[in-house]
Amino acid sequence: MRHRMAAAMLSMLGLLVSAYLLLYKLGIVGELACGSGGSCERVQASKWAVLFGIPIAAYGVGGYLALLVVALAGLEGRWAEHPGPTRLLVALSAIGVAFAAYLTFLEVALIRDLCRWCVVSAVLITAILAVSVAGLRSPGTPPAT
Amino acid sequence: MAAGRPVRSFYLALGVIAIAGVALIAGQVARRPATGSVAETLASVPLTPVASGGAVGHQLGSDSAPVEIAVFSDFSCPHCANFEILDFPLVRDRLIPTGRLRWRFVDFPLEGRANSPVAHLSAACAGEQGRFWEMMGAILNRQGEWVEDRRAERRLRGYAEGLGLDVTRFADCMDTGRAQAVVDAGAAEGRRLGVNATPTFFVNGRQWPDVLGYDQIRAIVDSLAPVGGAPRGAPAGAAGPSAPPRR
């Protein structure tokens, strides 16, 4: 179940990054800690930072929260030995990776600026997919309770 | 197998990460922008009021707004397009409706940009029909299409048609050039003020030394016209922080 622990850790980090970007988008965080150049602000201020009226970062918060819940549930009780949580982690993170790839394309091709926190998030979701796929291949041992 | 300890350690580590992350974010929330620097920057540049009262450019926002930002812009300028795409939507949707900020766009077609004059004229012609801002958005968002196109005017007319303008009236305006005076007035005002690059921003009549982004503009508005409070002591007229105007 180590892969589920790793997925939970990575999901927690992703949740924090997304929450940070969401708070910025909502005007609660004044400036992003993103180095010089304002690249994060430019990306976050672009029209592509909102989808269907909802900030992209909110989708990130929801997605990482779902991944975290699934990963933690997969450590408990009967779910610890069930392959379902790992499969769900793979499915959710695969969607996340596709979404992150689309957003990265927007940054590179249209906005022409890279938001470092967005890159961090893309790396995290890719890592979650990687550990989840690894978990499918090696079910591991359930934790004792 | 004694896996209980690893699981407890895992939850402990997860909790530490969560708490540390929340603490870091809380620290960022607590850190407010140094709005005092807005007044200092404004005080450091001379007051050179931009003609207002509808005399120059295109206005968005309340006449009684305590802060006016005027931007001298060239439609061929990539940084102007960048601002339109990335920053202006937030300024328009978040700041102008508060009644604290009045926005003024002033035409400043740069010399040597072959298609700039016709682009500015087309926006002025759209302005005749009360659709300047939509046309400006179309022109800047699709800058790459027309800026080096030999048939730029045809494309611009297409934008007007796409916006649902009265195409006959628009074509007549373009053919006669009757809206050219609006563009020329902006360019003349820019030259009078010493503008030599775009975008150039003036905040309450003072030229801001850098290019502005949404964050800086928000900081300026918050500094000069705080919500529910008296404006901080800045000279009448001024702008916010950013990078030097670029062509």
Of B3, B32, B82, nearest to A144 by CB-CB distance is: B3
| B 41-80 → A contacts, CB under 8 A | none
Nearest chain A alpha carbon to B10: A5
Quote the pLDDT of residue B2: 44
Please list every residue in chain A whose beta carbon sits closer than 8 Å to the beta carbon of residue B213: 38, 41-42, 45
Band the pLDDT of A124: cuts 50, 70, 90.
Answer: very high
Tell me the pLDDT tens digit for each residue of A10-49.
999 999 999 988 887 776 776 667 665 555 666 666 667 7
Contact A12, B21 (CB under 8 A): yes
* Interchain pair A41, B213: CB under 8 A: yes
Of chain B, the percentage scoring pLDDT greater than 70 comes to 80
Of chain A, the percentage scoring pLDDT greater than 70 comes to 80
Selected residue of A4, A16, A114 to mutate for chain B interface (largest B Cβ count, 10 A): A16
Quote the pLDDT of residue B231: 52
Please list every residue in chain B whose beta carbon sits closer than 8 Å to the beta carbon of residue A42: 82, 86-87, 213
Separation CA B78–CA A91 (nearest Å): 40
Nearest chain A alpha carbon to B23: A16
Band the pLDDT of A139: cuts 50, 70, 90.
Answer: low
Tracing tokens 């408990």 back to the chain, one arrives at: A76
Q: Which residue has the higher pLDDT, B76 or A52?
A: B76
* Interchain pair A20, B25: CB under 8 A: yes
Tell me the pLDDT tens digit for each residue of B155-185.
999 999 999 999 999 999 999 999 999 999 9
Compute the 3-state secondary structure of chain A and give helix, strand, coil in percent, each to the nearest 5: 75, 5, 25
CATH number of A2-137: 1.20.1440.130
Please list every residue in chain A whose beta carbon sits closer than 8 Å to the beta carbon of residue B85: 46-47, 111
Quote the pLDDT of residue A107: 76
Band the pLDDT of B211: cuts 50, 70, 90.
Answer: confident
Quote the pLDDT of residue B38: 67
Quote the pLDDT of residue B139: 94
Contact B85, B46 (CB under 8 A): no
Mean pLDDT of B47-61: 72
Mean pLDDT, all residues of chain B:
83
Nearest chain A alpha carbon to B27: A29
The listed range with the strongest mean pLDDT (A50-64, A106-120, B144-158) is: B144-158
Domain range list for chain A: 2-137
* Interchain pair B22, A46: CB under 8 A: no
* Interchain pair A75, B25: CB under 8 A: no
* Interchain pair A31, B1: CB under 8 A: no
Tell me the pLDDT tens digit for each residue of B13-43.
888 988 998 888 888 777 655 445 666 677 6
Q: State if pTM tops 0.80.
A: no
ipTM: 0.77
Query: With 50 as the cut, is the pLDDT of residue B1 above it?
Result: no
Separation CA B171–CA B167 (nearest Å): 6
Separation CA A123–CA A130 (nearest Å): 10
Please list every residue in chain A whose beta carbon sits closer than 8 Å to the beta carbon of residue B3: 141-144
Is B85 part of the contact surface with chain A (CB cutoff 8 Å)? yes
CA–CA distance from B119 to each of A114, B124, B172, B173 (Å)? 30, 9, 15, 13
Query: With 90 as the cut, is the pLDDT of residue B230 above it?
Result: no
Q: What is the side-by-side order of every strand in the sheet holding B200-203?
A: B58-60, B101-107, B67-73, B200-203, B206-207
Separation CA B168–CA B126 (nearest Å): 12
Mean pLDDT, all residues of chain A:
80
Please list every residue in chain A whose beta carbon sits closer than 8 Å to the beta carbon of residue B33: 30-31
- Whether a cis peptide bond, with omega within 30° of 0, leads into B199 is yes
Q: Which residues contact B88 (CB under 8 A, 6 or more apart)?
A: none
Exposed/middle/buried for residue B107 (C-beta within 10 Å: 0-12, 13-18, 19+): buried
* Interchain pair A42, B86: CB under 8 A: yes
